[in-house]
Structure 1
Amino acid sequence: MVIFFLMVIIGLAALNFYQYNVRKNEKRNFTYIHRKLKQIIDNQTDEKLLVHTGDEELKQILIEINRLLEHNQKMMASYNKMEASMRKMLSNISHDLKTPLTVVLGYIEIVLNNPNRTNEETKELLQKVNVKTVEVLDLIKKFFDLARLESGDKDLPLTRVNMNEVCQKNILQFYEVLSAKGFDVVIELPETIQYALGNGEALDRVLNNLLSNAIQYGGEGKVLGLTLRSDEQYVFIDIWDKGKGISELHKDLVFERMYTLEDSRNKSYQGSGLGLTITKRLVEKMGGHIFLNSKPYEKTTFTVQVKRITY
């Protein structure tokens, strides 16, 4: 009997010792979790919680905490990227507004300070003022449109659109410009009419932006092409040229806000940097995608993909 009680006592002591160690380990783990979480949050690092434990419930909690940390880190990275982009955008907008406005003020001062100027000279200066004023208004309109698109405030009702007609109409609008610049124009439209789910006004703007971009930056190749094609699910519009193209370094950047080719602000690459960003947002608003493929001086192609409608 004494031996039995002794074994019971030893067993209870061992159980208590085990429970003590378990509680000690739990306390150590929770202390580590608390300190590590505080460190990660205070220092905004991308670390994760690593705890060796056999407690399945604690493991599940750690998995969810790490998921939350990863989500928070992605949000912070996205926020920092957006903040940097916004700072750059505001700086570039300030530059692009200041330049033409300074020119406008200069022309107006000339008119005001020289009353003896002839009517013809005054008219010429006022025409220049008009051009620069329109330039400023166009930039403000683009910025406003982009803000509406990114905030979800701009509604784009989607309907069945005749893509052959959209392509023909937009390429014809550039006929005189292309002829004057000596471009060879290659147009490939299927005989069968292709219908897609889209917005006619948005598609007009998308094509207008891409064709303008091809003329401005691909002009050295003196060739511009428009191809309409489709598969069972999608309709594709390719706008291509054989100009200097876009290097691998810039491919992922051309759709960013206020980004201009070669990230330059000089006159050789002058532009607001909003055109392609607006184009991408409009295409995505229609449930589509836009792709870029470029081999400098061989072929640079912007491809718009929208959902095909067969009825």
Structure 2
Amino acid sequence: MKLPAFFRTIQAKLIIIYVLLILIAMQLIGVYFVSAMKNSLTSNFTQELKARAELLSVLAAQNLGAAGTAESREDKLDNLGVLVDNLFNQTGAEIQVLDPSGKVLKTSKWSHADYVGRKNTQTVVSMALQGIEDNEEYIIDDDNVRKKVVARPVVNDGKIVGAIYIAASMSELYATMDRINSIFISGILLALGLTAILGVILAHTITSPIKELTRRATAVAEGQLYQKVPVLGNDEIGQLSKAFNYMTSRLRDALAQNEEEKEKLASILTNMSDGVIATDEVGTVILMNRRASAMLFTEGEDRLGTSIQSLLSLSQDGRMAFAQGSMPTELLEIATPEGGASLVRVTFTPIHRREFGIIGTIAVLQDVTEQEKLEASRREFVANVSHELRTPLTTIKSYTEALEDGALQDQELAPRFVGVIQNETERMIRLVTDLLHLSRLDSKESPLRMQQTDINEMLDEVADRFSFQMQEKGIEVRVQVEDGIHQVWFDRDQIDQVLDNLISNAMKYTSGGSITIRAYLTDDGILAISVEDTGIGIPKKDLDRIFERFYRVDKARSRNMGGTGLGLSIAREIVKAHGGTISLESELGTGTKVTFTLPVEMKGGHER
């Protein structure tokens, strides 16, 4: 059975405890007091009866023990009756004077007058007649009245001449005890009432601060951290209030620090270059930063609650290893919205908690697409360099062996073989020079030497340098400079090298056409220089890779023309070093146009 709510409170328990303590204490005191009072009253009552019996036995001895005539004995008995009726009688008591045989000689109770001459056979009487002085017992008469019985022998000259029998009612004694019990019970009830009132007051003084603490603690649990309990004393409750206030203060500091750390962690996760995904113990995604969403081309909030295995499309082996807790490292290929693919390396790290084991997993996603591309480019670059060097070296070795075998003595073959060796050597020198130049550009070891340059003069000089070769191939060259462009700032030597590479390429693949060199300003105010030819053009499939190192559209023809395959790569790096861009437009059979921009400062100009 469930108790009402009030009886389950500390206040009710304190009141009940106080009342029970007082009740038990009063009961113990009452039992002792009543028992002691009863014993005292009974003892006094008995002693009084014994004293009366003793006194009466002394007086009766004179009347019962003396010898004389029958008349004198009668007179003595009458005197004894007067003593019994008047001097020693008390309300509710019966006094009997017995002869040595136990017969009743006199009785104080007129209703028992017929007992005279009859023998009293009670035990106390028999014992008294045998000379035993201390005889007493409790009896309940026919009227259901409790009585105290005392019998004492009457001795005269050492001879038992009779006995005194007194039977006194104890009704008044027990009535007195009942009145005492009533008074005591009333006192107990009054004490219990006062105790209950004092218990309520005392319990309220104890529970009121506890209730206040409970209310404030509930408010703190709901997030109201600026609660403060008043300290009303230096007792245990006061110390508890101080501890509560100190706890809330420390809790505010801890939560503020935790919130700060949380903000820092959220900021770090948001701005990390790597993707981070957190899961629970069963692999359900519970956190994903923006970088991870970008890598997976998905909305992070939409994928919360999904399985990381399906989110990352792990392989069967990866799923099994993940389920077994071995946490594999996976290299995933993610399809991009543009139809391409990106490579993502996923590293799994388990989260352990003492006594619980693995409670989650952190997956770190790294986009290694560019890294893999760079690695592939490096391998291809090494292979291309090896191939480009091996070809001339093989040719030189072959012709050198031929000369050693006797071709040196041949007047016709020797000069030709020497010329081939010289051409291949020059080709290797150009290749190594271009590689060194690219290396310096990559490592930023080729600083720009900015100088004021006249665009008209520079373009005219470039056209003049190739004029003889263009005349031999029947190529017409045109130089066009937009009005307003005159003095600009850039590295003249490096831009000359860019123009030489572009014009050289245009000449190689143009015959009988024209090459146009043009300088103009874009809508953004940036200087743009273009080299456009009417040559054979470049297929569309090769346009995306045309600026790669050692990439050739027609590898055999380019190599025969003395190209290293690095000219456009060098041009791109020089333009990038100036902060510009370079692009190529071409159509097979129509021609090619290469344009590069330079964000340079203009220093005046004039129309040409």
TM range (shorter): 0.7 to 0.9
Query: Which amino acid in 2 is paired with 1:266?
Result: A
Helix, strand or coil at the partner of 2:597: strand
Is contact 2:474–2:512 with CA below 8 Å preserved after alignment? no
In 1, Cα distance between the equivalents of 2:378 and 2:388?
Answer: 15
Instruction: Pick one of 255, 270, 281 that aligns with 2:573.
Output: 281
The one of 557, 573, 577 equivalent to 1:267 is 557
Q: Matched residues in 1 for 2:400 and 2:582: separation?
A: 43
- Offset, 1:113: 1.7
Out of 505, 512, 516, the position equivalent to 1:213 is 505
- Aligned equivalents of 1:298 and 1:134: distance in 2? 33
Q: Which residue of 2 aligns with 1:91?
A: 383
Instruction: Give the alignment partner of residue 229 of structure 1, picking from 509, 520, 538.
Output: 520
Separation (CA, whole Å) in 1 of partners of 2:539 and 2:557: 20
Partner of 2:474: 182
Asked whether the equivalents of residues 205 and 279 of structure 1 are also in contact (C-alpha less than 8 Å), the reply is yes
Please report how far the alpha carbon of residue 297 of structure 1 lies from its aligned counterpart in structure 2 after TM superposition. 3.1
| Distance (whole Å) between structure 2 residues aligned to residue 110 and residue 27 of structure 1 | 72
* Counterpart residue type for residue 206 of structure 1: V
Deviations 1:97-155 (A, max 9, x none): 11111111122222222166255643332222111100011111112211221222222
CA shift digits 1:197-244 (9 cap, x unpaired): 310110011001100111123x15622111122246221111001222
Residues 159 and 199, structure 1, Cα contact 8 Å, conserved in 2: yes
Q: How does 1:232-311 map to 2 (within 5 A)?
A: 233-261=525-553, 264-267=554-557, 271-311=563-603
Secondary structure, counterpart of 1:293 in structure 2: strand
Alpha-carbon contact 1:194-1:235 (below 8 Å) kept: no
- Structure 2 equivalent of residue 52 of structure 1: none
- Deviation sequence 1:50-99 (CA, Å, 0-9, x none): xxxxxxxxxxxxxxx99x73xx21xx111110111111122122121111
Q: Separation in 1 of the partners of 2:7 and 2:389? A: 93
Is contact 2:482–2:521 with CA below 8 Å preserved after alignment? no
Residue in 2 aligned with 1:80? 372
Q: In the alignment, what sits opposite 1:28? A: 280
The answer to whether the 8 A contact 2:430-2:564 is kept is: no
SS for the counterpart of 2:555 is: coil
- Contact kept in structure 2, 1:283 and 1:289, CA below 8 Å: yes
Q: Which residue of 2 aligns with 1:42?
A: 329
Q: Give the letter for the 1:2 counterpart.
A: P
* Residues 485 and 602, structure 2, Cα contact 8 Å, conserved in 1: no
User: 1:191 and 1:118, CA in 2 relative to 1: closer, same or farther beyond 3 A?
Assistant: farther
Letter in 2 for 1:229: Y
What is the deviation of 1:3?
4.8
User: Do 2:518 and 2:530's aligned partners in 1 also have CA atoms closer than 8 Å?
Assistant: yes
Does structure 1 retain, via aligned residues, the 8 Å contact 2:279–2:285? no
Larger radius of gyration between Structure 1 and Structure 2: 2
Identical aligned pairs, as a percentage? 26
- Given that residues 221 and 241 in structure 1 are in contact (C-alpha distance below 8 angstroms), is that contact kept between their aligned partners in structure 2? no
Deviation at 1:256, TM superposition (A): 1.2
Distance 1:27 1:135 in 2: 59
Amino acid at match of 1:139: L
- Alpha-carbon shift at residue 184 of structure 1 (Å): 2.1
**Most deviating of 189-198 and 241-250:** 189-198
Q: Which residue of 1 aligns with 2:396?
A: 104
Q: Which runs of 5+ in 2 are unaligned?
A: 9-217, 222-277, 287-306, 313-317, 335-343, 347-361, 604-608
Unaligned runs of 5+ in 1: 7-11, 16-25, 50-64
Partner of 2:118: none
Structure 1 residue 30, shift from structure 2 partner: 8.9
Distance 1:273 1:192 in 2: 36
Picking from 438, 445, 454, the partner of 1:146 is: 438
Bigger RCO of structures 1 and 2 (CA < 8 A, at least 6 apart):
1
CA-CA distance at 1:301 after TM superposition: 0.8
User: 8 Å contact 2:552–2:558 — kept in the other structure?
Assistant: no
Contact 1:195 1:308 in 2 (8 A): no
**d(CA) in 1 for partners of 2:525 and 2:577?**
18
State the TM-score, normalized to the length of structure 2: 0.40
Question: 1:167 is paired with a residue of what secondary structure?
Answer: helix
In the alignment, is the contact (CA less than 8 A) between 2:538 and 2:592 conserved in 1? yes
C-alpha contact 2:586 2:592 (8 A) present in aligned 1: yes
User: Which residue number corresponds to residue 2 of structure 1?
Assistant: 4
Local SS of the residue matching 2:381: helix
Aligned residue number for residue 56 of structure 1: none
- Mapped to 2, the partners of 1:41 and 1:260 lie a distance apart of 41
| In structure 2, distance between residues paired with 1:123 and 1:27 | 76
- 3-state SS of the aligned residue for 1:125? helix
Change (3 A) 1:101 1:269: closer
Residue by residue, what CA displacement relative to the aligned partner does 1:146-195 show, whole Å, maximum 9, x if unpaired? 12212222222333322222211111111111110111222223465523
Aligned residues: 274
CA 1:86–1:4: 2 relative to 1, 3 Å: farther
Say if 1:41 and 1:160 are closer, same or farther in 2 by CA, change over 3 A: farther
* Deviating 4+ runs (over 3 angstroms): 1-6, 29-41, 46-49, 118-121, 190-193, 268-271
CA offsets, 1:256-296, max 9 Å, x none? 122112xx432366543211111100001011111112233
Matches within 5 A, 1:125-204: 125-190=417-482, 193-204=485-496
